[in-house]
Amino acid sequence: DAKTTQPPSMDCAEGRAANLPCNHSTISGNEYVYWYRQIHSQGPQYIIHGLKNNETNEMASLIITEDRKSSTLILPHATLRDTAVYYCIVGRGGADGLTFGKGTHLIIQP
């Protein structure tokens, strides 16, 4: 019973904004939305998280819909090094551990 749904793969041109969607229609009120990515043969890397409000950091922006049932991760100027599997995860965080879904394989094209 997946808590999130993501497209299995996406392409984006280098230099363009990459917009990765995620559906999480069963999210609870105390659950956060986390985004991690995993570049081939490396450990996952934290990108950003949010609860209700939109968030931005040096890596990306996170847009969460008002009903919190979906979100979009935005990489504003994608580079070849952003090619990775991107995981959208919902959970309480803390020391609960992360439940990864299948993720989206984002391929940045030169």
Partner 1 sequence: DTEVTQTPKHLVMGMTNKKSLKCEQHMGHRAMYWYKQKAKKPPELMFVYSYEKLSINESVPSRFSPECPNSSLLNLHLHALQPEDSALYLCASSQRTSGGLPYNEQFFGPGTRLTVL
Question: Is there binding between residue 7 and partner 1 (CB under 8 A)?
Answer: no
Residue 20 vs 103, nearer CB to partner 1:
103
Question: Is there binding between residue 86 and partner 1 (CB under 8 A)?
Answer: no
Among positions 15-44, residues that touch partner 1 (CB under 8 A) are: 30, 32, 36, 38, 42-44
Residue 16 vs 92, nearer CB to partner 1:
92
Instruction: Please say whether the beta carbons of 62 and 48 come within 8 A.
Output: yes
Residue 1 vs 42, nearer CB to partner 1:
42
